[in-house]
Chains A and B, each alone.
Chain A
Amino acid sequence: MTQVLNEQHIYVAQLRELSVGIGKKLTIAGLELALFRQDNDEVLAVENRCPHKGGVLSDGIVSGEHVFCPMHDWKIDLRKGEAVAPDVGCVKTYDVSIIDDGVYLLMD
C-alpha cells in the first residue's frame, strides 16, 4: 500500500495507535524505527538499535525524551540521538510531522 503525502512525508500511523511511555516498533522500507509519543503529542523517531549492542530501543523504559535501552540500560536522548554520558554513541533520528492526527515521517 502506498501512503505518500508528498515526496518526503510518509504516513505511518494514527497518533492514537501510539501510547505515551511505550515505544512502538515500525518497519518501513527495510528500516526498523522506534516511535515515541510525548506528553504534548509530539512524536520522536529514532533508528531502533542501541549504539551499544543493537538493543531494541522500542522496548526500553521511556522517560520523556529519553529511553533506557532494555539490554544494558544505556540512556539515549531521543531528540539528539546521542547516548547520555558516560556512554558514547549515536542513533539516527528522523523528523516527524503530525497532520490531522496522522503521523508522518520525513524521509530523504
Chain B
Amino acid sequence: MLKQKIILIGNGMAGVRTLEEIIKKDPNKFEITVFGEEPHPNYNRILLSSVLQGDASIDSIVLNSYEWYEENQIELFTGDTVVKVDTKSQTVISQNGISRHYDQLIFATGSNPFMLPLPGADKEGVIAFRNIKDCETMIDTAKNYKKAAVIGGGLLGLEAARGLLNLDMEVEVIHIADYLMERQLDDQAGRMLKEELEEQGMKFRLNAHTERLTGKKRVDGVLFKDGSKLDADLVVMAVGIKPNVALAKEAGLETNRAIVVNDYMQTSVQNVYAVGECAEHSGIVYGLVAPLYEQGKALAEHICANDTLIEPGYQGSIVYTQLKVSGVDVFSAGRFQDGEKTKSIRVHDEFEGIFKKVVVEDNKVIGAVLFGDTSDSPRLLTMMRNGQDISKMSKVAILPSENESDEKESVVVAMADSETICGCNGVSKGDIVKAINEQGLTTVDQVKACTNASRSCGGCKPLVAELLSVTTGEEASSQKEPICGCSDLSHEEVAAEIRDKGLNYVREVMNVLGWTTENGCSKCRPAVNYYLGLNNPIEYEDDSTSKFVNERLHANIQNDGTFSVVPRMYGGVTNSEQLRKIADVADKYQVPLLKVTGGQRIDLLGIAKEDLPKVWTDLGMRSGYAYGKSIRTVKTCVGENFCRFGTQDSIGLGIQIEKKYEGLSTPHKVKMAVSACPRNCAESGIKDIGIVGVEGAWEIYVGGNGGVDLRSAELFAKVHTDQEVLDTISSFLQFYREDARYLERTSHWVERVGLDHIKKALENEEKRAQLIERVELALTKQQDPWSDVLESKDKQESLYEKKEVEVTN
C-alpha cells in the first residue's frame, strides 16, 4: 500500500511536535515532508531568551537534530518556504521551486513579531526578538554599542532586556501600561516585578507612548509623544505577535485573526489542518507552548485515526506562563483579575518579596498569580484543569507552601499520579515515577531524556528534581551532583568536611566520609587531593598516586604513550641561548616534532617517559606547566616598546604575572593573557583571566574560554596600576580556587554562580585582603617540579624508570 503523504509547512515547535506525536502513534504510516523558513532544524524558541542571557548555547536548544529527521525518513527543506498551496490538486510549491503532492496538509506557519508601524522603524538597529538571527544580532550589536531600548514590558520584552543586560548593555524598557506584564500579572505583582528588575539594573519608562525612532541610517534614539527623548543604539520591539496567515488566506482557508480551526484542528478546507500560533480555536489564538502541544496531540490523534472524529478533540487550553529571568520567579495562570463573582486568597509578604493570589469563582480555582515563590503552581494548575471543588479545603491545602510547620511535606507527595508535572509536554507524575523506578534514573537530565519532562520551558525542573528525590529516597535534592559514584556527597560537601574535620589524607577522607569504594576512582581521588591541598597548603603532602598521569609526571602524555615537554618561557619571551639548548636537546633525543603551542611556548613532542628526567637536566630550564590543573602560561602581545598601537608594557606585566603565580594549583587549568591595546593580539578575550591595556589603565576580563565551550570573557574590573592588577588576579584566583568545583573551568564557574556573586564577594575589603593573604601563603610552597624530581632518586626510580628484562635460554 502506498504511504499517505503529509506535508508540514513550518518547522517550528507546534508542527514538529505534531509529527512526533504522529510518529509515536504510527511510525510507518506516513511519508512526511517539512518546509521551514529558517536555516536551522527545529529548535526551542522559548529558550532563545536563555541563549541571549548566556545560559544556553544555540546547539543546546535544538529539539530535533538533522539526524532525527533522517532516522524518521522525513524529507526536510530548511531555508525554504512554501509560496503556493493548491487545495484542489493538493499540491504545494516552495520558493525554491520544489513541488510536492499531499494527502494531508498541516499549516504550522506560526507568527511574526508585530512591528509597531512607527516612523523610523525601518532603520538599521531596529529588530524584533523572535528567532536565532535576532538573537545573534543582539549579541553582535552589544560588541559595538552600549544603549538599548526594548519596546514592550511583557514576557518577551523583559527576557530580551535581561539578555541585553547580560551583554553589558544599558537597557531601558518602554511600556505603554502603568505596570509590567499587565496581561499576565495584576498591578501588585507587576510592581513587585519592576522593583526586582530595577535591582538587577533594568530601567523602565511606564505609560510611555512612542512617537518615532530617530537617527539617520541607523537608529540613535526614541522620541516620545510628550516630547521626551531616549538615546538608543538598538531598539528591540517585543509588543506582540501577528499570526502568519497570508499563505492560508491565499489558499482560500477561512481566517479571522488566524486560521480558523475546529476541535480537530481542521480548517475550512478538507485535509488541511492548522496548529500552533497560526491557528484560532474558539476565537482564541495561543502564543504559549503548552497549548500548542495540546493541539499537536489532538491533531496527531485525529490524523492517525483516519479522519474518524474522536471525542472530545481539543477543548482549548488553560493558559499559564512563567518568566525566565534568573532570580525572579513569576507564574500566572487562567483568569486572575478580580471580577464581580470572584473571591481571592491573597498572601503578600513585603519583607520576603512574596505575593500569591488565587482567584476562586463558584468554589473553583480559575486563576492564580504567584510572585517570589512559585512552588504551588503545578498544584494550582491541576486544580484548575480538574475543576476541583475547594469549598471544604483550608488555605494550606490550596497553597501548601504556606504551611509553616517545620516538616513541610514536598508538594509532589500530595499530587495524584495523574497530575501533570510538565505542562509543556503533558507528562504526569505517574509517568515520571514509573520511568524512575523501571529505568533506575538518578538525574534530572535522565528523566528529561526518558520522559520529555522539563524538555521545553524548563519551568517544572524543580518539581522533577523533587519528585526524583522523593521517589529514589535520596535525601539530597537531585540538583546536587555527587562528586562521583563512590560517594553521595557533593564537591562542596567534601571540601567542607575536609575543612571542618581537619582531614589530612586521601584515604582518611574516604574512610571518614563513608566512601562506597575502598580506593576511590579517577574522579574523586584527584578532587579530594586538590581539596586537601587547598585546605592545608603548607603541610599537606601532595598524593601523586591521586593525580592524572600528566600531573604526576609533569609532562603531557601523547596518544602513543610518549610524552611532550614544554619548558618555561616567561611571557612567551625567549632568547638565543634557550633556543640553542632546545635545539641541542631535540637533536640528542631525536625529538620527532617541535611545535609552538597556543600559549606561545615550544613543545618537544615524542619523548619516552624514561628519558624525561634526562631531557630536563639537559634543558636546564624550569617546567612550563603545560600539563597541570594549575596556572599555565601568560600569553602576551608585543606592547608599547615595539608596537605602534601598544599603550602599555604587556610583556613586562605578563612576565610579572607568570612569575608570581607559577605552579599554583587550581580547580582546572587557568590560562591568562595580556594585550597592550584593544586589538587584543594576545587573545585576552577568551582567557580565564585576560588583561587589556588601554590608555592609562588595564581592563581585566574573566571567565573566557577558547576551548570546547567557546566563551567570551566578561569585564571584571578596570584598574590603573600593576599592583592593582595583581591584587585583582590574586583575589579572583583564590576565590575561584576555594569556590569552584574541581575540574570546573572559570567559564563554567562564572556561568554557574554568576559574575555578580563573584564581584559581590570581592567587594568586601576585608574578605579581599584575606583571599590575597591565602593565595600568597599557597604560593610560598611552590617549587619547580622538574628540579624536584631531579633531586630525588626515589622519585626518578618509582615514577620514570622502566624495567627491562632480557630472556635468553
The interface of chain A, by Cβ under 8 A from chain B, is 1-4, 10-13, 17, 19-22, 24-29, 35, 53-56, 59-64, 66, 68, 70-71, 73, 75
| CB<8 Å pairs between A and B, sample of 7 | A10-B805, A21-B545, A27-B805, A61-B522, A61-B547, A63-B517, A75-B522
For residue B609, which residues in chain A have a CB less than 8 angstroms away from its CB? Answer: 25, 59
Given A63-B519, A64-B518, A70-B557, A24:B802 Cβ within 8 A: yes
Bound together, the chains give a CA A54 to CA B805 distance in angstroms of 22
Bound together, the chains give a CA A25 to CA B526 distance in angstroms of 22
Q: Do residues A2 and B802 form an inter-chain contact, with CB atoms below 8 A? A: no
Q: Is B806 an interface residue (CB 8 A)?
A: yes
Bound together, the chains give a CA A68 to CA B546 distance in angstroms of 11
For residue A28, which residues in chain B have a CB less than 8 angstroms away from its CB? Answer: 804-807
Chain B stretch 544-577: residues in CB contact (< 8 A) with chain A: 544-549, 552-553, 557, 559, 561
Q: Is B799 an interface residue (CB 8 A)?
A: yes
A-B contact count (CB 8 A): 91
Which listed residue (A22, A26, A59, A73) contacts B557, Cβ 8 A?
Answer: A59
Q: Do residues B561 and A12 form an inter-chain contact, with CB atoms below 8 A? A: no
Q: Do residues A59 and B561 form an inter-chain contact, with CB atoms below 8 A? A: yes
Bound together, the chains give a CA A10 to CA B553 distance in angstroms of 29
* Chain A, Cβ-Cβ closest to B563: A59
Which listed residue (B526, B545, B549) contacts A70, Cβ 8 A?
Answer: B549
Bound together, the chains give a CA A26 to CA B609 distance in angstroms of 13
For residue A20, which residues in chain B have a CB less than 8 angstroms away from its CB? Answer: 545
Bound together, the chains give a CA A97 to CA B521 distance in angstroms of 27
Since A29-B806, A56-B561, A59-B609 are in contact, a sample of 17 more A-B pairs with Cβ atoms closer than 8 Å, ordered by chain A residue number, is A10-B807, A17-B797, A20-B545, A22-B798, A24-B802, A28-B807, A29-B807, A35-B803, A56-B557, A59-B549, A60-B549, A61-B521, A61-B525, A61-B526, A61-B546, A61-B548, A71-B559
Interface string of B775-809 (1 = CB under 8 A from A): 00000000000000000000001110011111111
Q: In the complex, what's the smallest C-beta–C-beta distance from B603 to chain A, in angstroms?
A: 18
Given A56-B557, A61-B546, A13:B803 Cβ within 8 A: yes
Q: Is B520 an interface residue (CB 8 A)?
A: yes
Q: In the complex, what's the smallest C-beta–C-beta distance from B237 to chain A, in angstroms?
A: 50
Bound together, the chains give a CA A59 to CA B549 distance in angstroms of 6
Bound together, the chains give a CA A11 to CA B803 distance in angstroms of 11
Q: Do residues B522 and A22 form an inter-chain contact, with CB atoms below 8 A? A: no
Bound together, the chains give a CA A53 to CA B110 distance in angstroms of 49
Which listed residue (A22, A26, A55, A59) contacts B803, Cβ 8 A?
Answer: A26
The 3 A-B residue pairs with the shortest CB-CB distance, nearest first, are A21-B545, A68-B522, A56-B561
Bound together, the chains give a CA A70 to CA B522 distance in angstroms of 9
Chain B stretch 503-528: residues in CB contact (< 8 A) with chain A: 517-522, 525-526
For residue B806, which residues in chain A have a CB less than 8 angstroms away from its CB? Answer: 1-2, 28-29
Given A25-B609, A60-B549, A62-B545, A3:B805 Cβ within 8 A: yes
Given A10-B807, A59-B557, A70:B548 Cβ within 8 A: yes
Q: Do residues A63 and B803 form an inter-chain contact, with CB atoms below 8 A? A: no
Interface string of B603-634 (1 = CB under 8 A from A): 00000010000000000000000000000000
Q: In the complex, what's the smallest C-beta–C-beta distance from B798 to chain A, in angstroms?
A: 5
Bound together, the chains give a CA A60 to CA B544 distance in angstroms of 11
* Chain B, Cβ-Cβ closest to A61: B522
* Chain B, Cβ-Cβ closest to A58: B802
Most chain B CB within a 10 A radius of its CB, from A21, A22, A64: A21
* Chain A, Cβ-Cβ closest to B506: A21
Q: In the complex, what's the smallest C-beta–C-beta distance from A21 to chain B, in angstroms?
A: 3
Q: Do residues A71 and B798 form an inter-chain contact, with CB atoms below 8 A? A: no
Bound together, the chains give a CA A1 to CA B804 distance in angstroms of 10
Q: In the complex, what's the smallest C-beta–C-beta distance from A73 to chain B, in angstroms?
A: 6
For residue B802, which residues in chain A have a CB less than 8 angstroms away from its CB? Answer: 24-27
For residue A59, which residues in chain B have a CB less than 8 angstroms away from its CB? Answer: 549, 552-553, 557, 561, 609
For residue A63, which residues in chain B have a CB less than 8 angstroms away from its CB? Answer: 517, 519-522, 525
Bound together, the chains give a CA A27 to CA B804 distance in angstroms of 5
* Chain A, Cβ-Cβ closest to B799: A22
For residue A56, which residues in chain B have a CB less than 8 angstroms away from its CB? Answer: 557, 561
Bound together, the chains give a CA A17 to CA B802 distance in angstroms of 10
Bound together, the chains give a CA A53 to CA B806 distance in angstroms of 27
Most chain A CB within a 10 A radius of its CB, from B545, B552, B559, B805: B805
Bound together, the chains give a CA A83 to CA B71 distance in angstroms of 31
Q: Do residues A22 and B545 form an inter-chain contact, with CB atoms below 8 A? A: yes
For residue B525, which residues in chain A have a CB less than 8 angstroms away from its CB? Answer: 61, 63
* Chain A, Cβ-Cβ closest to B553: A59
Q: Do residues A75 and B521 form an inter-chain contact, with CB atoms below 8 A? A: yes
Bound together, the chains give a CA A64 to CA B545 distance in angstroms of 11
Bound together, the chains give a CA A54 to CA B561 distance in angstroms of 9
Q: In the complex, what's the smallest C-beta–C-beta distance from A94 to chain B, in angstroms?
A: 13
* Chain A, Cβ-Cβ closest to B808: A2
Bound together, the chains give a CA A2 to CA B521 distance in angstroms of 39
Which listed residue (A1, A61, A73) contacts B545, Cβ 8 A?
Answer: A61
Bound together, the chains give a CA A13 to CA B548 distance in angstroms of 25
* Chain B, Cβ-Cβ closest to A55: B561
Q: In the complex, what's the smallest C-beta–C-beta distance from B371 to chain A, in angstroms?
A: 45
Which listed residue (A4, A68, A70) contacts B521, Cβ 8 A?
Answer: A68
Q: Do residues A73 and B803 form an inter-chain contact, with CB atoms below 8 A? A: no
Q: Do residues B519 and A73 form an inter-chain contact, with CB atoms below 8 A? A: no
* Chain A, Cβ-Cβ closest to B805: A28
Bound together, the chains give a CA A63 to CA B532 distance in angstroms of 19
For residue B557, which residues in chain A have a CB less than 8 angstroms away from its CB? Answer: 56, 59, 70-71
For residue B517, which residues in chain A have a CB less than 8 angstroms away from its CB? Answer: 63
Bound together, the chains give a CA A28 to CA B284 distance in angstroms of 80
* Chain B, Cβ-Cβ closest to A3: B805
Q: In the complex, what's the smallest C-beta–C-beta distance from A25 to chain B, in angstroms?
A: 4
Q: In the complex, what's the smallest C-beta–C-beta distance from B491 to chain A, in angstroms?
A: 18
Bound together, the chains give a CA A64 to CA B804 distance in angstroms of 25
For residue B522, which residues in chain A have a CB less than 8 angstroms away from its CB? Answer: 60-61, 63, 68, 73, 75
Most chain B CB within a 10 A radius of its CB, from A20, A55, A63, A75: A63
* Chain A, Cβ-Cβ closest to B524: A63
Q: Do residues B803 and A4 form an inter-chain contact, with CB atoms below 8 A? A: no
* Chain B, Cβ-Cβ closest to A68: B522
Q: In the complex, what's the smallest C-beta–C-beta distance from B691 to chain A, in angstroms?
A: 34
